[in-house]
Structure 1
């Protein structure tokens, strides 16, 4: 290593302290750490690096301290297992504290020293605001001599962390923890419940907004453990209903919900009561009822008795039992809450709540908002004896046979013990290929002294409950439950700290559900350990889809995510795959064509299987699960979703529906606009489903239910667009007209009116519109983006710029050249590379210099003296906005790629003529993850 400038290491989207330490341990010849605290949460992230160092013969010394009793005995015990690490502890007293955070790496001719604020904890290494300065200097530099001398001094003053010391320290910590327990609990209690978290605030704001526009129903979708009950109590506190009815499906939830409301509304002079098999508090102000009980006595209440109605686990609300209750009551407002809008029959949960989704929180958002604990995922290459390369993913019997290998059990236990777990007792869930496999794993674990049990759908609820309690009991010997799929969703074991993925992943949805079983916050639990044993199955790449967290992906972004260890994952969550697994997944992604009919069919059929084998007829079905496929890919293939399903299912009834040319044309016309990039048109069409016409003012009123502001001209432009004013002659000939713009009104056409009179046609039309609106809300939120209506880092096609800039000429003319204009708005569309499969294909004319600067070259005919040339090179002085849209490749897997909007740029340098080459300064720094995606070739 050579001497180089100092650098600042912080936790950000550009990198983190952990990556720097892992890289340095790997490259150095010796290392020396001195840190005040070592937690197991942080140490676990460094285990593989230290192990690799041990195998290479790299020696290390580590000093930590007893300061504030924050270092964990468990972390010290783990470090003692490594032969290459000498461990000492600086024992502090009242007079002397210990605050050092220093990492020293020795190389053949130099030293690297990192000094700053980061201890070895998961948050300090990955997510906290930390400042650490890295200095690389030659061995004989005065600074290095001083650092090493000080380290040696500390080393000599510290105590060897032998077994006796660790044992005494552990006993002390247990006693200390016990004496601190009461105050800690009181503090946590107050801290947690008085102030709404970010998710709860967002939900409450959206509920208030929906109510202000006269909406009487809304749905909140958020994972188990994210605080939906508290959110509902906060909203009730604001709304102040005199009477409330809270309905749940399971009685065990009821008492907790009542306690939450009592705690948050202590001084409101309200009475709280239960309505269950055992309790009949029918005269209370706020009644908490099971559906089983209230469905038998709802007629005893007045229809308008309750101003506010809450349905927990709202995905059950489509059942006849719920329907009879919901049809009877007439509250001012109804709130539905669910972890997943999965429905138990053919009814639509979204429809039940008037398609008003106040909030939807999926896994990545829950991690970002710290609503769940972070997870540490380790992708481990399975043993060679397990060969799944030639077996079908659906052949459970054969997969089970091949997984039942004694050596594999030993390997799983070895890895489980190496990586460890959070907390004192391991509380694990192992997801298996089938019942026989789960039973085999249980028997083998028990044989090796790890107390385990097998639970499947065949076990009674009481049996399951019994073993869940045993697993959660710190004093009980049970450490593992092996199962097939009963814990995918709906069953809550908050204290789970280990998840073993022991079967080949065949669905991103199931993967996320299984992962989610261990993410519930619980006591002092700080993270979940996930061990995934990755075999050579040909669908291994599905793991990458699940972990990527984006429903809308392409091959290149997926490869970059895998190669960079999913750097975009929020918070202290850590994803690490060993080299073989990573290469195997990258190779599979390369070979797979994500746009082929074969792949799309497989994706569709996998989703159908999770839909209880029912045909998912509607786009809204795809909003039920985190990790569901993107149905717009199916639309792109066959022009509408219904046509795709008709083809895949060979469904005669759907084919007959599509015989009606007006219906087929209307559904294709609406589908072609998905995913919508501004919401105005779809909101207006949805209003016209139940009204003959709409005025400008009515349209604005409807649009404002979804966005915080809209300008008049954009609404008028939406009216003109729906009137097909900007369609070319071929479009006008081939696309049915659903609306007519006349005398300041947008009127429903007779063709559209006739279609809506047919209940089946209407259902499919409504589904397409609702899906468009819902997805827009998810991706764009409530913000007003102005004109042009562009959101940073969103995907766009060239023609979108015409619509979104209120272009008042034919929109299909927006294509071809890399520069399109609408008045003072200039749109620059850039391809950085040729096709994805062409090596060394960078377009050096158009390129990034860094995350803030970009070089762009005009077409060959542009001169500096021309009006166009002057507008470009002096854009700021002339009031010209240069909007940059960039894509890596023009095409991938035979499909045109979208551009990504990176904001506006201003020219700071220019040279040349015919063409002009300009250097632009971007108004917004490109996020590191996106910059890597644009500039790295995997």
Structure 2
């Protein structure tokens, strides 16, 4: 039995032949009332002389870590948020031993009773100090707090702890849960434990939502969603609260995080392999709650490439052409965010025959339609005609299907030939099944007659493809919006919070259902843009405008926008003069077909 099987640098599962008798994680243990409820408070750590605590605070200015101002601030918050029971029995985690010793000294000077325990202390002293913390009889010998660095991370059982204070950056989700867990043991006269996490500008702040949620996919949207909704989704009577500055710091950390870092990917893979006792399949990563396997695709091109480089027990060999196709499936095709291409390929591979009734099959099986524009788009994608020229050359082997004279579809002869290799065929089918499962989970609830899903995120390329445009355009050509005359569609892309040196485009929400946006510049109210947006001509009557918004450009990994549905320009365009650029633009009042969901709205508009 162990509470932390995944922290070891060796395969602990092999001792038991990889047979797990029972496994329960934090969320489930809370649901089943096996743990003491907790009230977590993410609190902004103090700024001292304009300096915010970060990962180098102890190196740059150790005196700030142990300053009187910080000590008073921590004690004030500890008293304010309180504890359950007659008196506090607290555990305080610090970054370093000298910090713990100095803080303990200053707490004692203020009338509190504290001690420090480190790895230097023998077992007798540890037991004595813990006994003083938990003893309710000998009042004169009692302790209020124990300061420590890491000896209480695991293996120590003190059920009486009713307050945990974290004065250190999060090292990892596992360590965070271990430290949180010191207060989660049930105890008589303890109804809950209070957890105070003092949050500075730490690089690893993004690990806080990972630890609290138990979601190890390292998906950034999942992290952001948990910061917004954690209080609503934590099981039982536990609660989670972040003050506004703490939220901002965690969001900034999420944006900057390198969640496809190779060290992280290799560690996640190794942990999963230890657990299973074999090389994991692509589906295993999702099934067993490991890292999002698409991060391996993005980093290495494909799971096959990753295994070939890092797994000694992997002995599958593919030709260069097959590897190129596997990479195309891994990085591009299964990320199309549309079912049509994947299902067509899967059926053609399975039945090795032509398909005539493809449209009816999609409607019956997935409840999605396919008009002529969608069909042409699917063909362009599977014949390598949609990408930009550089990508078309890179994946020149990826002409996968052809349409026959009778209207049926069949696999291209070259792709069919490659599929005679069973290893290659199994990889292709595994990727298609994974992609279809992803679509069902994330994109299956399509918005009206489109191939978009409300509140999911899309890149410029995704939007061009899913609007059935003939080519993937450069982002610079699209700008804030672009009108495609063939499909009569006009996607509007907005970076809601602009960089300080950006042109002052004052796009702004008035409410969840009302947006004021600016045109490109220079533009007058008589321009063709205004005609398209306000549908002023007969040929523009059927134009459709769709809204895509991201908070800012700060995310170092994803360049995606939230899809917020169809929008309608109301009233008339208002001419304005752009002082910074000395030219004209016009304002547009947009009404949203569906008012923005409150949590997404709050995230976008918050500073």
Q: Shorter chain as normaliser: what TM range?
A: 0.5 to 0.7
- Equivalences for 1:107-506 in 2 at 5 Å? 375-377=39-41, 443=127, 446-450=130-134, 505-506=170-171
Q: Is the 8 A contact 1:792 1:901 kept in 2?
A: yes
For the residues of structure 1 that align with 2:362 and 2:189, how far apart are their CA atoms? Answer: 46
Q: What's the counterpart of residue 685 of structure 1?
A: 345
SS of the residue aligned with 1:566?
helix
- Among 425, 431, 438, the residue aligned to 1:775: 438
Pairwise CA distance, 1:677: 1.7
Q: 1:902 to 1:415 in 2, by over 3 A?
A: closer
Pairwise CA distance, 1:595: 4.5
For the residues of structure 1 that align with 2:57 and 2:508, how far apart are their CA atoms? Answer: 44
Q: What's the counterpart of residue 553 of structure 1?
A: 220
- Among 569, 592, 603, the residue aligned to 2:264: 603
Q: 1:420 to 1:864 in 2, by over 3 A?
A: closer
Q: What's the counterpart of residue 543 of structure 1?
A: 208
Q: Is the 8 A contact 2:387 2:471 kept in 1?
A: yes
SS of the residue aligned with 1:931?
helix
Q: Is the 8 A contact 1:642 1:654 kept in 2?
A: no
For the residues of structure 1 that align with 2:496 and 2:201, how far apart are their CA atoms? Answer: 34
Q: Is the 8 A contact 1:428 1:499 kept in 2?
A: yes
Q: Is the 8 A contact 2:382 2:401 kept in 1?
A: yes
Pairwise CA distance, 1:728: 5.4
Matched, 1:661 2:299: no
Q: 1:679 to 1:499 in 2, by over 3 A?
A: farther
Pairwise CA distance, 1:713: 2.9
Matched, 1:830 2:514: no
Q: What's the counterpart of residue 201 of structure 1?
A: none
Q: What's the counterpart of residue 925 of structure 1?
A: 595
Q: Which moved more, 1:711-720 or 1:789-798?
A: 711-720
Matched, 1:695 2:361: no
Q: Is the 8 A contact 2:218 2:292 kept in 1?
A: yes
SS of the residue aligned with 2:541?
coil
- Among 408, 411, 424, the residue aligned to 1:745: 408
For the residues of structure 2 that align with 1:535 and 1:813, how far apart are their CA atoms? Answer: 38
For the residues of structure 2 that align with 1:729 and 1:380, how far apart are their CA atoms? Answer: 46
- Among 435, 441, 454, the residue aligned to 1:792: 454
Q: Is the 8 A contact 2:385 2:392 kept in 1?
A: no
Pairwise CA distance, 1:791: 1.6
Q: 1:390 to 1:521 in 2, by over 3 A?
A: closer
Pairwise CA distance, 1:538: 6.1
Q: What's the counterpart of residue 531 of structure 2?
A: 870
Pairwise CA distance, 1:530: 3.7
Matched, 1:727 2:386: yes
Q: Is the 8 A contact 1:375 1:519 kept in 2?
A: no
For the residues of structure 2 that align with 1:842 and 1:668, how far apart are their CA atoms? Answer: 37
For the residues of structure 1 that align with 2:177 and 2:348, how far apart are their CA atoms? Answer: 38
Structure with more relative contact order (C-alpha pairs < 8 Å, separation 6 or more) = 2
Q: 1:936 to 1:497 in 2, by over 3 A?
A: same
SS of the residue aligned with 1:791?
coil
Q: Is the 8 A contact 2:40 2:194 kept in 1?
A: yes
Q: What's the counterpart of residue 765 of structure 1?
A: 428
For the residues of structure 2 that align with 1:896 and 1:432, how far apart are their CA atoms? Answer: 34
Q: Is the 8 A contact 1:377 1:574 kept in 2?
A: yes
Matched, 1:844 2:505: yes
Q: 1:732 to 1:858 in 2, by over 3 A?
A: same
Pairwise CA distance, 1:796: 1.0
- TM-score, normalised to structure 2's length? 0.63
SS of the residue aligned with 2:350?
coil
SS of the residue aligned with 2:461?
helix
For the residues of structure 1 that align with 2:181 and 2:287, how far apart are their CA atoms? Answer: 15
For the residues of structure 2 that align with 1:635 and 1:422, how far apart are their CA atoms? Answer: 47
Q: Which moved more, 1:736-745 or 1:812-821?
A: 812-821
Q: 1:796 to 1:380 in 2, by over 3 A?
A: closer
Pairwise CA distance, 1:763: 4.6
Pairwise CA distance, 1:624: 4.7
Q: What's the counterpart of residue 241 of structure 2?
A: 575
Q: Is the 8 A contact 1:832 1:842 kept in 2?
A: no
For the residues of structure 1 that align with 2:335 and 2:185, how far apart are their CA atoms? Answer: 33
Pairwise CA distance, 1:921: 1.9
Q: Is the 8 A contact 1:719 1:741 kept in 2?
A: no
Pairwise CA distance, 1:883: 0.8
Q: Is the 8 A contact 1:829 1:885 kept in 2?
A: yes
- CA RMSD after TM alignment: 6.1
Post-superposition Cα deviations, 1:592-640, rounded to whole Å, max 9, x if no partner, equal 95359xx7123224424533668976543432565x5444344334443
Q: 1:607 to 1:725 in 2, by over 3 A?
A: closer
Q: Which runs of 5+ in 2 are unaligned?
A: 1-12, 49-53, 59-72, 96-116, 137-150, 233-237, 576-583
Pairwise CA distance, 1:710: 1.5
- Among 903, 906, 909, the residue aligned to 2:571: 909
Pairwise CA distance, 1:795: 1.0
Work out which of the two has the higher radius of gyration on C-alpha atoms and give 1 or 2. 1
Q: Is the 8 A contact 2:359 2:370 kept in 1?
A: no
Q: Which runs of 5+ in 1 are unaligned?
A: 1-314, 323-336, 341-361, 392-410, 453-481, 488-493
Q: Is the 8 A contact 2:326 2:427 kept in 1?
A: no
- TM-score, normalised to structure 1's length? 0.43
Pairwise CA distance, 1:697: 4.3
Post-superposition Cα deviations, 1:694-740, rounded to whole Å, max 9, x if no partner, equal 635477557755x4x12243874575245427435845554222333
- Among 313, 331, 335, the residue aligned to 1:671: 331
- Among 844, 854, 865, the residue aligned to 2:515: 854
Q: What's the counterpart of residue 581 of structure 2?
A: none
Pairwise CA distance, 1:855: 2.4
The count of residues paired between Structure 1 and Structure 2 equals 517
Pairwise CA distance, 1:319: 8.3
For the residues of structure 2 that align with 1:729 and 1:449, how far apart are their CA atoms? Answer: 67
Matched, 1:711 2:369: yes
For the residues of structure 2 that align with 1:422 and 1:658, how far apart are their CA atoms? Answer: 61
- Equivalences for 1:807-818 in 2 at 5 Å? 807=468, 809-812=470-473, 816-817=477-478, 818=481
Q: Is the 8 A contact 2:348 2:355 kept in 1?
A: no
Pairwise CA distance, 1:922: 1.9
Pairwise CA distance, 1:764: 3.8
Pairwise CA distance, 1:420: 5.6
Q: 1:897 to 1:698 in 2, by over 3 A?
A: closer
Q: Is the 8 A contact 1:438 1:484 kept in 2?
A: no
For the residues of structure 1 that align with 2:308 and 2:558, how far apart are their CA atoms? Answer: 25
Q: Is the 8 A contact 1:854 1:919 kept in 2?
A: yes
